[in-house]
Structure 1
Amino acid sequence: MAYVRKDAATLTRAEKRRFVNALLEVKRRGEYDELVRLHIAYNSADGERGLRTAHMAPSFLPWHRRLLLELEGALRRVDSSVTLPYWDWTRDRTTTSAPWTADLMGGNGRRSDGRVTTGPFAHREGNWPIRVGVTDEGFLTRDLGRHRDPIGLPTKSDLDRALKDPAYDVAPWDSTVTRGFRNKLEGWGTGRGSVSWRNHNRVHRWVGGVMLGAAAVNDPVFWLHHAFVDLQWYRWQRRHRGAAYAPATPPRRGDDQHGRVVARHERLPPWDVTPGELEDVGRIYRYA
């Protein structure tokens, strides 16, 4: 029977407590840091050689869907009642609204060094050391809203712009395409600076701190953010019945993207699963 992922703003006190406790236990067991390492290992960009799976590629959505299932499985091995909540950043848009409460994600980082000092993941609690990253900081950092150069979260209209595109993705299957649901949702836009960060990307920028880099998984809000991104894929599928992941077949030899993107029925590293097999997860979970 499929379990349910809920809006973080609707969680009861008991649900929040059980979710946080399961997260802390997965961290204690070392499983959480392995997922941080995995995300770093597969964080490649357009200009890099070889296969791209996690970002700037059609497989952005199925790859992160599989990553979410990895954490969710670990959480449910600790407490079978726990599922991943999602953060609706089109509605909960302030630094004090859900999920930035002391009983869930904690709050903003302090101005001096970005260190989070409230909530269960604050460094002073001793339960959330940052062991895997691209900097030497050993504590969780945030800069909600980017106080020195403020930016806002994406709006419902920003999200709808992506959802109404009937194509999943288009050639050349990277961050430069201006058509296709995947890149509009992932958020690689034209221009420079904040105007080019949209939807998924803009949320990472808005949270700031460790969420800015390949080690973004170190902030547990990563999962709530990506659960909401995953929900958009589900909504897009319902809006465009019959539309499927693309490309259906691998780019041919001579194409600049040959060997660089995963086709619908190809294996999605590092797992033995294809994007096509991840299109329908209705038997595993659903969204409230």
Structure 2
Amino acid sequence: MAYTRKDVSTLTAAERRRFVNAMLEIKRRGEYDEFVRTHIEFYTSDGENGLRTAHMAPSFLPWHRRFLLELERALRRVDDSVTVPYWDWTRDRTATSVPWTKDLLGGNGRRSDQQVMTGPFAYAEGRWTIREGVTDGRFLTRDLGRARDPIELPTRSELDGALNDGVYDVSPWDSTVTRGFRNRLEGWGTGRGSASWRNHNRVHRWVGGAMLGGASVNDPVFWLHHAFVDLQWTRWQRLHRGARYLPEEPPGLGSMQHGRIIARHEKMPPWDVTPRELEDVSGIYRYV
């Protein structure tokens, strides 16, 4: 039977506690750091060589959907009542709103070094030491809203701009495309400043600290953010009945994207699964 993913703002005190405890337990077991390593490994950009699966590519959405499922399975092995909640950043938009509470994810980092000092994931609590990252920092960092160069979280109208695009993705299937639901949601833009980061990407920039770059999984908000992004794929499918993941076929030998992106029926590393197989997950979970 399908289980439910809830809006984080609707969780009861007991549900918050069980989610936090399950996260801390998989961290204690060493499982959590494996997720960080995986994300770093697959953080491949347009400018690099080789296959792109997790970012700047059509498989951004199915890759993170499977990634979320793997994390959720780990949590549910600890406590089968736990699911990954989602953070609606179009509504809960301040540094003091959910999920930045002491009983959930804790608050902003301190001004001097961005170290998170409150909540269960604060380094001082002794249960959330950063072991995998792009720097040698041991503590979780945040810079909610970017104090020195403020930006706003995406609005509902900006998100609707992605949802209203009825084509999943378009050639050349990378960060430069200006049409297609995938990149409108992933958020690679043109220009400078906050206008060049839309939707998903701008949320990473707004949180700042550990959420910048390949090691962003070190901040547990990563999962709540991506659960909301995943929900948008479900909403898009409902809005555009019959629209599917693209490309259907891999780019040919003459294409610059040959061997660099995943077509709908191709296996998606590091798992033995295709984007097509992840288009319908209604038998696994649903959103409320």
Give the aligned partner of residue 172 of structure 1.
172
Alignment of 1:188-227 (within 5 A): 188-227=188-227
Give the aligned partner of residue 106 of structure 1.
106
Give the aligned partner of residue 250 of structure 1.
250
Alignment of 1:37-76 (within 5 A): 37-76=37-76
Residues in 2 aligned to 1:214 and 1:104: alpha-carbon distance in whole angstroms: 23
TM-score, with structure 1 as normaliser: 1.00
Residues in 2 aligned to 1:38 and 1:101: alpha-carbon distance in whole angstroms: 28
**CA displacement at 1:190 relative to structure 2:** 1.2
Residues in 2 aligned to 1:133 and 1:267: alpha-carbon distance in whole angstroms: 27
SS at match of 1:286: strand
**CA displacement at 1:195 relative to structure 2:** 1.2
Give the aligned partner of residue 116 of structure 1.
116
Residues in 1 aligned to 2:195 and 2:163: alpha-carbon distance in whole angstroms: 19
1:134-174 per-position Cα deviation (integer Å, ceiling 9, x unaligned): 00100000000000010000000000000000000000000
Give the total of aligned pairs.
288
SS at match of 1:238: helix
RMSD: 0.4
Amino acid in the other structure paired with 1:206: W
Residues in 2 aligned to 1:189 and 1:123: alpha-carbon distance in whole angstroms: 34
Residues 1:23 and 2:23 are matched in the alignment: yes
Residues in 2 aligned to 1:103 and 1:281: alpha-carbon distance in whole angstroms: 30
**CA displacement at 1:260 relative to structure 2:** 0.3
Give the aligned partner of residue 146 of structure 2.
146
**CA displacement at 1:261 relative to structure 2:** 0.3
Residues in 1 aligned to 2:193 and 2:150: alpha-carbon distance in whole angstroms: 12
SS at match of 2:286: strand
SS at match of 2:40: helix
Amino acid in the other structure paired with 1:122: A
Residues in 2 aligned to 1:33 and 1:192: alpha-carbon distance in whole angstroms: 33
More displaced stretch, 227-236 vs 189-198: 189-198
Give the aligned partner of residue 159 of structure 1.
159
Alignment of 1:73-84 (within 5 A): 73-84=73-84
Amino acid in the other structure paired with 1:274: T
Residues in 1 aligned to 2:243 and 2:133: alpha-carbon distance in whole angstroms: 37
Residues in 2 aligned to 1:99 and 1:277: alpha-carbon distance in whole angstroms: 31
1:90-123 per-position Cα deviation (integer Å, ceiling 9, x unaligned): 0000000010000001000000000000000000
Residues in 2 aligned to 1:6 and 1:194: alpha-carbon distance in whole angstroms: 29
**CA displacement at 1:213 relative to structure 2:** 1.1
TM-score, with structure 2 as normaliser: 1.00
SS at match of 1:269: coil
**CA displacement at 1:193 relative to structure 2:** 2.3
Runs of at least 5 residues in structure 2 that lack an aligned partner in the other structure: none
**CA displacement at 1:194 relative to structure 2:** 1.5
Query: Percent of aligned positions with the same letter in both sequences?
Result: 77
Give the aligned partner of residue 131 of structure 2.
131
Amino acid in the other structure paired with 1:144: L
Residues in 1 aligned to 2:278 and 2:190: alpha-carbon distance in whole angstroms: 29
Give the aligned partner of residue 88 of structure 1.
88
